Structure 1
């Protein structure tokens, strides 16, 4: 990335061995491909002495360094404090853990707010926790015609009994980005906590948890070039007040209090490498094979801010190219319509099953899956039932050639007899 205005997607693509198989990947919202520095970091962690954390043996010190480094990296990525970074198997697992812990503080008649826009992992844990505590679940709706979930929709279901509001920062189905900052103010004015699903959002936007006003914010490194893992950023002082069920001899220190069992050190090493790789996308840093953004200028956080700005311009240009191409297909309906959205499109085709389109494209080396992608409530609210549609999502390695292949083969599919 030698020039401030340039996003060198060819240099980015060179770092992804999976792309050599020849497919055009529009399946990033379900999980991105993995760059070499992440692969190498995982292998390196497993190749060195490694044991339970401590400060005596080399294996203990390596484990300790990996955990500390990963916390710092994720804190930089999310604009959070390292002492508030909690690791888990997945964002779903972390949400279930925290829903059970928070539910201990609820009483019958208390209220919990969820939205129709969210992935089920930020709905069902709260619904089930509310049921166990005798709390009432209230639903914030979104407009299926526009895909928008506004502040008024959340305000309408807040009351003095609201204890928690769970909302997505970006829909994994249609890309809608609700106004989380404004929502957080209304939620806190009501005396409630805000739990934000940032899994899809973090792949496309430079997160600032403090600015968003999220009390809890989750993400998944495998959505942004890293390994399969879950991360939660919470306010450390809030985490200190929560008492999860845990083993008696395990530490009570925050954030380790919420991490059960031995952490997957190699995956934490990979997550740190993914953050460093993203920082290397900055015009202030230079990507080199099997490195973590060499010749970098500025702090990692500063490079991440610049990197996501450059990535956003790149992805927006490709999204517009896709949308312009789709506009020529009269049979295709695009359900991603919010004014503020990620480069993720949901398509349905008049008289055709998008599962057939998925298979047709896959046979021609274009990965664009079909389904509701666990955003069941959103799919139903859009009138698509449980089937959903064809999802087209962009990632840092997407390029114009990928878009051309998608549009060409989709046109071929539409020209075939139904």
Structure 2
């Protein structure tokens, strides 16, 4: 059946303000069921986790429900889901923990296509251990991350390969399963950044070949929390720094402090919301998630094609990269107008986009664009419409025309 965009949009109260939100990569608007779940949890008596009283049991249930929901989203198991405040924080925890097992001469492979949250924690952990960092390079023209290069980058001393499943800068979808296969052939672990990929299609931890997979709920209609999934047996072998009296069980020992129980209620509600994107889908929540996200992916791909065709027709617009597979995210520059000024002009017209490097530090350094402001990013989410894409193209044409008159 057709993707019911009117029904989908009705679930997002913020959309009634009239802004065009084209920066899902920076964070999506929050779905109404998520807002209601968080509010309801905050109205309810909650205590620190304990089986000894009702408020404490409620908190235990909220944590368990969030783990189960994320597990369904990622194709993981609940006991393998570590919850935390952000993807950056979780990746740092993992990097510091794994880094204690590395020795001089060991190697870590990172990618210049990645968000810095899947680069710097590994670089710093390697430096602390005296390990060597090796870099996977992307094609500057296409933005592709060739999987074949990993054959040369990975060797018997490789301990970890970190790679994105979707570039937050230009949308590139690397062949992560092929990269993981190369890494696993020498016994290396693979940490996959799924922050930008998970919102845009069905995800399966095992199919990706990920030993660790991280995602952020605020990129898929939820609150500002994150999760990292792995096989529980993988977590069991790791010993993070922790407070002495805190739980030593998995996955609890990787989570610091008391979690935000109301926000965890929002995580579960966000997953349930995604499971309802396809109103006709049936079966388990995992089945409905796969159906709903597949429907959203097909819808977003149509909008992406419309956007790319429109940008190609605008004079003075340069789109960065042309990967064969991409999340619905595009970075571009407008001749004669800085990215920040372009963003500001579009913002004045009610269009919300990002400019700069969006923490894709190595990408923009390699492209030699950081010193001149990076680029402007348009990132589509399933609540966007063809009319909004057309409005962006119209306003961008207006900005370009004004820049042309000033230059003349």
- Please state whether the residue corresponding to 2:14 is helix, strand or coil: helix
Match of 2:292 among 291, 307, 310: 307
Match of 2:374 in 1: 388
* Structure 1 CA distance for aligned equivalents of residues 161 and 268 of structure 2: 30
Task: Report the aligned-residue RMSD.
Answer: 1.0
Residue equivalent to 2:158:
162
Report the TM-score when normalising by structure 2: 0.97
Mapping of residues 104-115 of structure 1, within 5 Å: 104-115=100-111
Q: Where does 1:110-121 land on structure 2 (aligned, <5 Å)?
A: 110-121=106-117
1:243-270 superposed Cα distances (whole Å, 9 cap, x missing partner): 0011111111100010111111111110
Structure 1, residues 183-211: CA drift from partner, whole Å, max 9, x if none?
11100001110011110011102110011
Q: What do the CA deviations read for 1:200-233 (whole angstroms, capped 9, x no partner)?
A: 0111021100111100010000001000011100
2:384 is aligned with 1:398: yes
Q: Deviations over 1:319-370 (max 9, x none)?
A: 1111111121121111141101100000012222121110011011001111
Structure 1 residue 55: deviation in Å? 1.8
Aligned mates of 2:37, 2:179 — CA distance in 1: 38
TM-score scaled to structure 1, two decimals? 0.95
For 2:79 and 2:359, the matched residues in 1 are separated by 31
Q: What number of residue pairs does the alignment pair up? A: 403
Partner of 1:47: 43
Q: 1:292 aligns to what? A: none
Give CA deviations for 1:16-63 in whole Å, capped at 9, x if unaligned. Answer: 111111100001100000011000000111111101112221111110
Deviation digits for residues 129-162 of structure 1 (CA, Å, limit 9, x no counterpart): 1111000111110101111002112222111110
Partner of residue 412, structure 1: 398
Q: Of 9, 30, 34, which aligns to 2:30?
A: 34
> Counterpart in 2 of 1:294?
none
Matched, 1:333 2:329: no
- SS at the partner of 1:379? helix
Displacement of 1:284: 2.3
Displacement of 1:381: 1.7
State how far apart, in whole Å, the 1-side matches of 2:175 and 2:262 are.
Answer: 36
State the Cα deviation string for residues 367-407 of structure 1 (Å, max 9, x = none). 11111100010112223125210100001110112112111
Partners of 1:251 and 1:110 lie apart in 2 by: 31
Q: Which residue of 2 aligns with 1:373?
A: 358
Indicate if the aligned counterparts of 1:284 and 1:298 stay in contact, CA closer than 8 A.
no
Rounded Cα–Cα distance in structure 2 between residues aligned with 1:180 and 1:117: 13
SS of residue in 2 equivalent to 1:156: helix
Query: Which digits, 9 at most, give the CA deviation of each residue in 1:76-113, with x for residues without a partner?
Result: 00000111000011000011111110001101111111
Q: Tell me, in whole angstroms, the C-alpha distance in 2 between the residues paired with 1:310 and 1:244.
A: 39
Q: Distance in 2 between matches of 1:174 and 1:346?
A: 6
* 2:55 corresponds to: 59
Of 303, 308, 322, the match for 1:323 = 308
Match of residue 356, structure 1, among 326, 338, 341: 341
Distance 2:210 2:339 in 1: 36
Contact 1:370 1:389 survives alignment (8 Å): yes
Q: Distance in 1 between matches of 2:175 and 2:23?
A: 26
Which runs of 5 or more residues in structure 1 are unaligned? 286-296
CA shift for structure 1 position 66: 0.5
Cα deviation, 1:114-134, whole Å, max 9, x if unaligned, reads 110000111111111111100
Q: CA separation in 1, counterparts of 2:383 and 2:44?
A: 30
Query: Aligned with 1:51: secondary structure?
Result: coil
Please say if 1:94 is aligned against 2:90. yes
1:304 Cα deviation after fit: 0.7
> Are the counterparts in 2 of residues 358 and 369 from structure 1 also a CA contact under 8 Å?
yes
User: Matches of 2:10 and 2:201 in 1, distance apart?
Assistant: 23
Q: Distance in 1 between matches of 2:229 and 2:67?
A: 10
In 1, Cα distance between the equivalents of 2:137 and 2:255?
33
Higher helix share goes to which structure?
2
- CA contact under 8 A between 1:283 and 1:306: conserved in structure 2? no
